[in-house]
Structures are given as structure tokens and as C-alpha cells.
């Protein structure tokens, strides 16, 4: 499972891109991804203070979209 995020620059909110975090850790369970997503999002946001997370969701590796 991957945590897919659409993130935008705080200084230019129209400038966005996709980020992915591998949440599988050997277990492709969507429930576990959702359960652990809040702490992963908070940690990622803390490490990227110039970006803002606009949307996020969990997705299986086989169904990863090209864009959010």
C-alpha cells in the first residue's frame, strides 16, 4: 500500500505535485495504511514545512494512478 498525497507550495498554492509514501512494510492491508496514515502525514509535514498536503489516500501498488 502507498499513501498518495497531493502537495502544494505554501508560497504558490497553485504549484502542486504528487508524493508517495510506502506504507506496506510487508503487509498490503488498506486498513493498516489508513490507521497509520495520520502519523505518517504528520511526520512528512514536519519534514516539509514549505509544502501543504491538500489531499491524500491509500492505494494498492497495482492500482497506482499516474496523477492524483
The position carrying cell 498518495 is: 4
User: Cell numbers at residue 17, please?
Assistant: 505535485
* pLDDT in single tens digits along all 68 residues of the chain: 889 999 999 999 999 999 999 887 766 778 888 888 999 999 999 999 999 999 999 988 766 666 55
Q: Is the pTM of this model over 0.75?
A: yes
Order of strands across the sheet with 2-9?
A: 16-22, 2-9, 51-59
- For residues 20 and 33, the answer to whether their CB atoms sit within 8 Å is no
Q: CA 34, CA 31: separation in Å to the nearest integer?
A: 5
Amino acid at each position: 500500500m502507498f499513501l498518495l498525497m497531493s502537495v502544494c507550495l505554501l508560497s504558490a498554492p497553485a504549484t502542486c505535485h504528487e508524493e508517495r509514501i510506502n506504507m506496506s512494510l510487508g503487509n498490503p492491508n488498506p486498513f493498516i495504511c489508513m490507521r497509520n496514515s495520520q502519523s505518517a502525514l504528520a511526520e512528512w509535514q514536519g519534514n516539509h514545512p514549505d509544502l501543504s498536503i491538500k489531499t491524500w489516500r491509500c492505494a494498492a501498488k497495482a492500482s497506482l494512478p499516474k496523477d492524483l
